[in-house]
Amino acid sequence: MTLFSLIVALLIEQLRPLSVARFVQTPLKALARFLEDRFNDGEARHGAVAWWVAILTICFASALIHFVLYHLHPALAVLFNIGVLYLTMGFRQVSHFFTDIQLALQMGELPRARQLIGEWRGRSHDESSSSEVARLAIEEALVAAHRNVFGVIFWFILLPGPSGALLYRLARFLDDEWSGARGPDFGEFGRFAQKAFAVLDWIPVRLSAAAFSIVGDFEDGVYCWRAQANQWTDKASGILLASGGGALGVRLGMPIRESGEVVERPEMGIGDDADAHFMQSTIGLVWRTLVLVFLVLALLSVAKMGW
C-alpha cells in the first residue's frame, strides 16, 4: 500500500501539477499567521508551543482520519494517502524553473536564464555567467528533490498513514516561515522551528546524500561529502551539494554574483564547470535515486510478506 500510494501520487503530480501557491502555501501561511498572532511574544518557548500545537493537531487528525477510513475500507485509506502525498511532495513544484532555465541556456538566452534563476531564488542574478546560473539551478534542484520528495517519503514510511508526510512538510514550512523572520516583535519565536526541522531532517538528508552517491560516482560523492560538507553554512544543504556534486562530477558552490555583490562560497563537488549538460545529468541523478528508493521499498515489501 505504501509503495502503491507513492507511485500513484507521483504519476498524478506529473500529469497534473499541483498549484502549490493556491492549495499549499496559502493555507499554511494563514495557519502560521494565526499561530503567530496568538503565541508570538518574541520568546523561543512560545514558538515551541505554537509549533507543537500545529504539528500535533494536523498529524493526529490525519492519523485518525486514516484509521477511520481504513476500517471502513482499506481502499479509502489508500486514496487518502494518495491525496495527502499529492499535496505534500512532488518534482513539479519547482521543476518548471529548472526546465526553463536549462532550455534558455541551451538556446543561448542568458538574460532569460538569469531572470528565471532570480525568480526561483528570490535574488537578482543579472550579472551571473551561464556557468553560475547552471550551478545555482543544480544546487536548487538537489536540495528541492530531497525536501520535496525524498524527505517526505522517509517520514511517510515511518509514521502511520500520511501523518509522517504532513509532519515533514509542515515542519519544513514553519522553519522557512519563522526561522528567517526578523524584527523586534518576532524575536526568538522561530528558533524552535529551525531546530525541530534540523532534527527531523538529520537522517533523511544523509540517506539522500548516500543515494546520490550510490546512483552516481560513488567514490567522488562520498569523498566530497566527507571533505566539503562542513564548509557550507547550512550543514544539511552542504551534505546534499557536496555528495550530489561529487556524484555528478561537477563543481558547485564557489563565489557567485548576487544582487550586485560577489558572495563568497566554498567549493562543493569535484570535476568540471556546470552547464546545461550537467543540468540534464542532474535530472537523471534524481530519477535514478527515486528508482533506487522504490526498489528498496519493493524489496522490503517482499521481505515483509515472506515473514
Q: Provide the 3-class DSSP secondary structure of residue 258.
A: strand
172, three cell numbers: 519544513
In tens digits, the chain (307 residues) has pLDDT values of 788 999 999 999 888 887 777 778 888 899 989 998 888 887 888 889 999 999 999 999 999 999 999 999 999 999 999 999 999 987 777 788 999 999 999 999 999 999 999 999 988 998 899 999 999 999 999 999 999 999 999 999 999 889 999 999 999 999 999 886 655 566 788 899 999 999 999 999 999 999 999 999 999 999 999 999 999 999 999 999 999 999 999 999 999 998 888 999 999 999 999 999 999 999 999 999 999 999 999 988 887 766 5
CA dist 203 and 29 (Å) reads: 27
Helix (H) or strand (E) holding 152, with range, is helix 151-158
240, three cell numbers: 546534499
CA dist 74 and 67 (Å) reads: 9
Q: Provide the 3-class DSSP secondary structure of residue 187.
A: coil
For the whole model, what pTM was predicted? 0.93
Structural domain boundaries in the chain = 2-306
Round to the nearest angstrom and report the end-to-end CA distance of the chain: 17
Q: Which of 232, 236, 252 is nearest to 134 (CA)?
A: 252
